[in-house]
């Protein structure tokens, strides 16, 4: 069984969805968790819920992690509470879908800023302390869209493909310091977004998935917990697709 007792994790985009599920799983395995999101009220409620359910320390931080100054402030705040940071989960992401010819500059830039630049900013901040302690686990959430592309999501696909390249480069840089960096590429996962799809859309999606069903957040969280643990010590620079076979 994965044991994360005595370790501290920071999870971005943690007020709901995959980020919340991952933060909950890490806490269930014993890690103290720092939840980060832009909505202060939502992330505070998420942290309180995790603390009540697991009995471990769960701290809430409201920050725009696409902004370098905000990220520095975030890590300063985390350091005041937790002397070490062993685990970083870069999960935060947004979409601004649209066809390429109609896509606005600001919609492209914002997706790159939140989805990709935040991974760079948070990883850079975390690696400084991880190198000093000669231990760390970084897990980045990419997407099957970043591996295969998707019409109407050129900005999102570019941001998620960028995470793949960043993950592999980061892994090579920090491997000698006992720090690993891996990525998870989810396929279609049950969420508020997929619940809003009509039956025809759901049928079309399921037809493209060999396993015939969508995944769920717990399945993503379980892999994230493994990659965040000491048990994954010899795994780095990898991209793990959890997509029910879509990418076969």
Catalytic residue among 135, 156, 226, 234: 156
Instruction: Quote the CA–CA distance of 120 and 141 in Å, as a whole number.
Output: 13
Task: Judge whether 235 and 180 are in contact, CB under 8 Å.
Answer: yes
Decide if 156 is catalytic: yes
Residues marked active site are found at 156
């Amino acid at each position: 069984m994965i044991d994360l007792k005595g370790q501290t994790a920071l999870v971005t985009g943690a007020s709901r969805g995959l980020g919340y599920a991952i933060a909950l799983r890490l806490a269930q395995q014993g890690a103290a968790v720092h939840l980060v999101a832009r909505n202060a009220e939502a992330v505070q409620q998420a942290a309180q819920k995790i603390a009540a359910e697991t009995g471990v320390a769960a701290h809430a931080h409201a920050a725009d992690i696409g902004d370098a100054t905000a990220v520095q402030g975030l890590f300063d705040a985390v350091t005041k509470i937790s002397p070490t940071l062993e685990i970083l989960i870069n999960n935060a992401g947004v979409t601004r879908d649209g066809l390429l010819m109609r896509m606005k500059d600001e919609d492209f830039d914002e997706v790159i800023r939140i989805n990709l630049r935040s991974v760079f900013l948070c990883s850079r901040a975390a690696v400084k302390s991880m190198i000093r302690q000669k231990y760390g686990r970084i897990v980045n959430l990419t997407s099957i869209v970043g591996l295969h592309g998707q019409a109407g999501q050129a900005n999102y696909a570019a941001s998620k493909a960028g995470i793949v390249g960043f993950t592999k480069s980061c892994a090579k840089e920090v491997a000698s310091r006992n720090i690993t960096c891996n990525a998870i590429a989810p396929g279609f996962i049950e969420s508020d977004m997929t619940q809003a799809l009509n039956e025809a859309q759901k049928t079309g999606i399921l037809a493209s998935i060999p396993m015939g069903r969508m995944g769920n957040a717990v399945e993503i969280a379980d892999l994230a917990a493994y990659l965040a643990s000491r048990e994954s010590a010899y795994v780095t620079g990898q991209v793990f697709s959890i997509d029910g076979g879509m990418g076969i």
